[in-house]
Amino acid sequence: MNDFILNTEDREFRAEVRAFLQRELAPRAAAIENNEDWTAVKAVVRALGDAGYLTLMFPDLYRGALKSPGLTHATILSEEAARINYAFETTIATALSCAYPLHRYAQPAVRDRYLAGIVEGAQVGAICVTEPTVGSDSAGMQTTIEFDEASDEWVINGLKRFISNASVADTYIVYGISNSAAAPQKGMSAVVVPDATPGISFPRTYTFMGRRGCIVGEVAFENCRVPADHLLGRRDEGFRIMLGMFNFERVILGGSGLGVARSAFEIACRHCQQRLSFGQMLGSKQQIWGRIADMSCRIDAAELLTYRAAKLYDAGGLTPKELMKPASMAKLASTETANFCADATVQILGGEGLTKQYGRAEQIFRDARALPIVGGTSEMVRYLIASVDLPDIKLNL
């Protein structure tokens, strides 16, 4: 199918990265899912770094064949990885979300120190936003980032939770309140915190229903100090940095949702053309082929929205606020589609869809459920979309 969004070079890149992941990730996917094998995860991350795929967002660092690498290609990478194993894709998406503000806002010496390991695949990063009482309402953070003039250091105190790559990341981007007297969105800053910094700890790791192999937990900061030059951008401008990061993350999550949706759809289509029911192929039944048609339409719609947002980002010229709506639409459509397709596939497979013995449908069902929650819930991104369409109304969260 000609998708009308991706060009020939983009499609050739998809074929290239799909073959790469089939070699590197597919043979390790079972170990990641069944054994939560972090060694397997790290091996594939390193392979991606060695191949140059983790520099797709950074044209000044990229050395591959693409003429204009960007978010479009990072999203393709995300989609193809999630199609094989969403837990693994979460690890690299989080690392890229850490690399993005490092590359764009860190001072040169700090950027060079921490970015290289991530894009080379030797290290991973993490983003610390969510707190025990703060999810989508990021402006209500309790974590503080205060400047100590005597030591020329930033001092971080607080607790973050639901942090992907917690305890295994090498570099943490931490958001917190640096000016409590300012309006909530005007007094936030972001700092770089290396993993060995005194005062950083990891109280617990979570056990999830899905995404096995993706390490998620809490990160605590107690009088954790980093040098003054570890500030990203300017003091009290962290909310603007975070907004740009969220646009990036939500488009990437559009790719994640597409990958999960496609893997479910492929299983359903294969089953429908192999399983006999009442003397006929299962797919010949109206209720079944109706589900297949709905899945197919939703995947195509999500693809168009996701790659439109990626292309808009890559074209430049739009502010983070202007990119917010298309990025949110991509995230909403693709992650909801992933859940729809995962649920429909289990239903089509019947009892087989509930077991590990008959394939990956049950894993995909468990994995997909996280997608409408992470990176901004479906309810939150609907709010962001509607806030643009209803500018004369102050929407009530």
The pLDDT tens digits for 318-367 are 988 899 999 999 999 999 999 999 999 999 999 888 888 778 999 999 99
Q: Which of 60-64, 78-82, 299-303 has the lowest mean pLDDT?
A: 60-64
- Give percent of the chain with pLDDT exceeding 90: 73
Q: Residue 14: in which H helix or E strand, if any?
A: helix 8-24
Q: What pLDDT is stored for residue 289 in this prediction? A: 75
What pLDDT does 313 receive?
Answer: 93
Give me the mean pLDDT over the 60-68 stretch. 89
Q: What is the mean pLDDT of residues 204-226?
A: 93
The answer to whether residues 335 and 378 touch, using CB atoms and an 8 Å cutoff, is yes
Is the pLDDT confidence value at 156 over 90?
A: yes
* Closest C-alpha among 247, 387, 249 to residue 327: 247
CB atoms within 10 A of CB 367: 29
Mean of the per-residue pLDDT values of the chain: 91
Identify the pLDDT of residue 284. 62
- In Å, how far from its chain's centre is CA 242? 14
Taken in order 259, 265, 268, 272, the sign of the CA dihedral is negative
At residue 2, the pLDDT reads 59
Q: At 397, is the pLDDT very low, low, confident or very high (cuts 50, 70, 90)?
A: low
Place of tokens 């999630």: 82
Q: Region 100-127: what's the mean pLDDT?
A: 93
At residue 96, the pLDDT reads: 85
Rounded average pLDDT over 223-243: 92
Distance CA 136, CA 124 (A): 24
Cα 156 to Cα 200: distance, rounded to the nearest angstrom: 9
List of domains in the chain: 8-119 (1.10.540.10), 125-236 (2.40.110.10), 239-389 (1.20.140.10)
> Does the pTM of the predicted model rise above 0.85?
yes
pLDDT at 183 (0 to 100): 79
